[in-house]
Amino acid sequence: MDLRHLRYFLTVAEEMHFGRAALRLGISQPPLSQQIRALEEELGVRLFDRTSRRVRLTEAGRLFEPEARATLVQADRASQTARRAQRGEIGHLGLGFTASGPFVPQIASALYRFRQTYPQVELILREQGRDEQIENVRNHQLDIGLVRDFLPPVLPEDMVSHCLLTEDMLLALRDDHPLALRTEDPSITDLAGEPLVLYGAPNGAGFTEHFFAQCEAAGFVPRIAHEARSLATLLGLVSAGFGPTVIARSMARLHVDNVVNRRFTSPVTSSLWLIHHRTLSPPAEAFRATVLEDQPPQIVSA
């Protein structure tokens, strides 16, 4: 059934006059009469009683009118829904992030602005390590990932990455630790023989590999006293004196009792990368644009 026929029918039903209805619709009266007859033939019922003096709804027309009106309302709602979905205003967004992600001002600001601009998009947030995010973006369980790595992450060929920022890594240690009491900043070699607390696999993927390589280049193998699965456990163990750890500068915004942060004499850096498929859903494209609002688009292909 042509929605145009329903609009014509409802206009005639409101005016109860074919001439006035035709004027409202911006067409001449003969084509309007033809369209109403076509609708009646399609339905197999008469919708109007017509005489030279008046037009009135038949019983079938009277009962058909509210259903026709509801159909047009629903059709308009469906059209609006499709347009809003295309603009990324509704739907859902699966977003993965590392523990440090929400502490990066650019990410925190983007999340706030996205929720204000697209309040009806359902955000599905998952804290995951690098490898898990890559796999979940690959199989479309996530739309976008925020992973930490020292080099562009190795991705399937239909995915891309964008470097959001590069920042220093800091040594976090208990405030009465000898390295905390020294006036000079620590170096990587100062960690030789120190019991360390680090993220365990898979959360430490990327960072742990790079950190181990730097330690080995400095002539020692790091001594891992404990592995943690969460940021809270990691810093809690440092505060309890189980050993230092290495964190991103953005995480230094967290205040933990008895824990201080020190820069390395030779900067140790890591980067935060935005990863996604080359083709994005409208909500994912809207979030990507929000994150990169103040950045030039520098895509690094896998």
Position 44 confidence tier, pLDDT thresholds 50, 70, 90: very high
Residue of 238, 272, 235 whose CA lies nearest to 253? 235
Q: Is 41 exposed, middle or buried (0-12, 13-18, 19+ CB in 10 A)?
A: exposed
pLDDT tens for each residue of 171-229: 999 999 999 999 999 999 999 999 999 887 666 666 777 788 888 988 999 999 998 88
CA distance 129 to 146: 9
pLDDT tens for each residue of 132-178: 999 999 999 999 999 988 888 999 999 999 999 998 889 999 999 99
In terms of phi and psi (left: phi > 0; alpha: psi -120 to 50; beta: otherwise), the region of 117 is alpha
Cis-peptide into 186, omega within 30 deg: no
CA distance 12 to 77: 23
CA distance 184 to 134: 39
Position 270 confidence tier, pLDDT thresholds 50, 70, 90: confident
